[in-house]
């Protein structure tokens, strides 16, 4: 869809301005928070069997009020410097909202990964990483990338290894990037973290009946009819968890080549497998296929979850959006104008800078794990189990009866890394929602959850700058 009214970056800046205008900040401070501090553009070539190919990539640092700065690396043919700056800005706001002590950054490489073999992609990634490392745009203490569209654990492992080869004496080398495979210093629960965070955020939203009613809905996630755009990392995990664990019905999935629909609920795993095997979702049996995938954004459903890319809901299609709750799992899926339009018509939007922060939250846990050189839970898991057994034995002795087996096994289970990551993520998403909600409910000049989320971010970043004494 090519109907974005203003650029992605302009859209984000306007959302920022709308929120900053409700605050009384010292002159010039809001402007400084908004601008991108630095961006490095690199053109490099890689020699292939049939000749040389030149690539262009960027790494932007939006705000370094906290270090390291953090943000994914995107591989997409369409990525531009403007996009990378916009995404870096979202990272600064996101980290502030979920109290992750990082500044915001983002990287992009203009490439269509499917055009290359795995070996070619590895050479391209290592070359790109080397250029960024040499300029301080990848470093455990300064700038820590993670996966984004088109990249995943495999690319992160190549980047970590490239860094380690350049700095073999850096004992924290592995912390130069997050989202690595668990066997390469990654953390359990990172791959699905963004989708898991979306699930936890939606659960928290549905714990507040007044908020649910504001969105024209009632009850819990159980039975809610959901449409998801993009069945990649974020969309797949979000859809899977909502369907399998919360009883939501995924009635539509939109991909590049069309959309599939099923009123009784789509088999999320099968849709994802089909996409991986065939490069798209066309041709699946037992579902209805719609050629014009974008039209399904307008389908009748309770929750619309854009989880693919930016600029999908614009003034062109906003008037036809029927979902009353839109959960922005992707970055920037709604343009500034469409956002205003939808709010004025009573739609409730859970904004990207909050909703998809699960990825960076668990990346933060991974970075801490790397710096501490020990798996979470390794020291205390068995100790917790022993304490559980002691408590049960004490209770049994005191009351003269046996604790039932299912309770015994629950109480004697020590937390492993998975449990701790989920617990930390759940707590983060709940707390952040309530902080945003409090601002929304308590300030007359804050009209929606997005503006409230920006207010939370701006206030925290402004405080950091003011405390540093730079203003």
The reply on whether position 60 binds ligand NAD by CB under 6 A is no
The reply on whether position 307 binds ligand NAD by CB under 6 A is yes
Decide the pairing of beta strands 51-63 and 303-306: unpaired
| Total of chain residues touching ligand NAD, rule CB under 6 A | 24
Q: Fill in the DSSP letter of residue 115.
A: G
Least distance (Å) from ligand NAD to the CB of residue 287?
Answer: 16
Spatial CA neighbour of 454 closest among 94, 104, 27? 94
The reply on whether position 105 binds ligand NAD by CB under 6 A is no
String marking each residue 263-302 x if it binds ligand NAD according to CB under 6 A: ------------------------------x---------
Catalytic residue among 9, 70, 94, 106: 106
**From 38-46, 155-163, 230-238, 373-381, span contacting ligand NAD (CB under 6 A):** 230-238
* Residue facing ligand NAD at closest CB distance: 232
The reply on whether position 255 binds ligand NAD by CB under 6 A is yes
Give CA–CA dist 183/130, Å, rounded.
Answer: 22
Give the helix, strand, coil percentages of the chain, each rounded to 5. 50, 15, 35
The reply on whether position 111 binds ligand NAD by CB under 6 A is no
The reply on whether position 107 binds ligand NAD by CB under 6 A is no
343-363: burial string, b at 16+ Cβ within 10 Å, e else: beeebbbbbbbbbbbbbbbbb
Residue 247 contacts residue 222 (beta carbons within 8 Å): yes
**From 122-130, 161-169, 243-251, 253-261, span contacting ligand NAD (CB under 6 A):** 253-261
Residue 70 contacts residue 121 (beta carbons within 8 Å): no
Q: Nearest 10 degrees: CA dihedral of 86, 92, 96, 99?
A: 120
Residue 76 contacts residue 150 (beta carbons within 8 Å): yes
Q: Is residue 369 annotated as part of the catalytic site, yes or no? A: no
Give CA–CA dist 33/14, Å, rounded.
Answer: 13
The reply on whether position 314 binds ligand NAD by CB under 6 A is no
String marking each residue 172-201 x if it binds ligand NAD according to CB under 6 A: ----------------------x-------
Give CA–CA dist 203/6, Å, rounded.
Answer: 33
> Which residues from 342-371 bind ligand NAD, rule CB under 6 A?
356, 359
Least distance (Å) from ligand NAD to the CB of residue 210?
Answer: 28
> Which residues from 319-338 bind ligand NAD, rule CB under 6 A?
329-331
The reply on whether position 233 binds ligand NAD by CB under 6 A is yes
Q: What sign results for the dihedral spanned by CA atoms 340, 342, 348, 351?
A: negative
The residue ranges that bind ligand NAD (CB under 6 A) are 147-150, 194, 229-235, 254-256, 293, 307-309, 329-331, 356, 359
- Residues with a catalytic annotation lie at 106
């Amino acid at each position: 869809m090519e109907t974005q009214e203003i650029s992605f970056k302009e859209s984000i800046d306007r959302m920022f301005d709308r929120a900053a205008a409700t605050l009384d900040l010292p002159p010039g401070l809001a402007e400084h928070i908004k601008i991108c501090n630095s961006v490095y553009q690199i053109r490099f070539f890689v020699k292939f069997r049939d000749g040389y190919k030149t690539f262009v990539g960027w790494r932007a640092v939006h705000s370094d009020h906290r270090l390291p700065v953090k943000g994914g690396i995107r591989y997409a043919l369409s990525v531009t410097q403007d996009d990378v700056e916009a995404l870096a800005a979202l990272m600064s706001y996101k980290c502030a909202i979920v109290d992750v002590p990082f500044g915001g950054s983002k990287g992009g490489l203009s490439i269509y990964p499917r055009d290359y073999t795995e070996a070619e992609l590895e050479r391209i990634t290592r070359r790109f990483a080397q250029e960024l490392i040499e300029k301080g745009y990848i470093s455990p203490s300064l700038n820590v990338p993670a996966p984004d569209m088109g990249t995943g654990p495999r690319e992160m492992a190549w980047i970590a290894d490239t860094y380690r080869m350049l700095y073999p004496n850096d004992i924290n080398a592995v912390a130069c990037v997050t989202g690595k495979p668990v066997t390469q210093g990654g953390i359990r629960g990172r791959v699905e973290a963004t989708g898991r965070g979306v699930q936890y955020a939606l659960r928290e939203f549905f714990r507040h009946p007044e908020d649910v009613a504001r969105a024209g809905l009632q009850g819990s996630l159980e039975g809610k009819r959901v449409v998801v755009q993009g069945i990649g990392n974020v969309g797949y995990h979000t859809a899977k968890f909502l369907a399998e664990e919360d009883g939501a019905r995924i009635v539509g999935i939109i991909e590049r080549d069309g959309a599939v629909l099923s009123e009784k609920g789509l088999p999320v795993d099968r849709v994802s497998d089909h996409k991986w095997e065939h490069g798209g979702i066309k041709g699946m049996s037992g579902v209805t296929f719609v050629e014009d995938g974008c039209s399904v954004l307008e389908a009748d459903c309770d929750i619309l979850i854009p989880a693919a890319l930016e600029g999908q809901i614009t003034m062109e299609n906003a008037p036809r959006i029927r979902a009353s709750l839109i959960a922005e799992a992707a970055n920037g899926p709604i343009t500034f104008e469409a956002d205003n339009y939808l709010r004025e018509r009573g739609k409730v939007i859970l904004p990207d800078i909050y909703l998809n922060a699960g990825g960076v939250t668990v990346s933060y846990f991974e970075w801490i794990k790397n710096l501490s050189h020990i798996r979470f839970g390794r020291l205390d898991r068995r100790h917790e189990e022993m304490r559980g057994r002691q408590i049960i034995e004490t209770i049994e002795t005191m009351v003269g009866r046996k604790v039932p087996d299912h309770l015994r096994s629950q109480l004697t289970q020590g937390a492993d890394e998975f449990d701790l990551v989920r617990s930390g993520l759940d707590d983060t998403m709940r707390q952040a929602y309530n902080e945003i909600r409090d601002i929304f409910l308590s300030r007359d000049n804050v009209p929606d959850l997005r503006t409230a989320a920006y207010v939370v971010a701006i206030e925290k970043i402004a405080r950091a700058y003011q405390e540093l004494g730079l203003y």
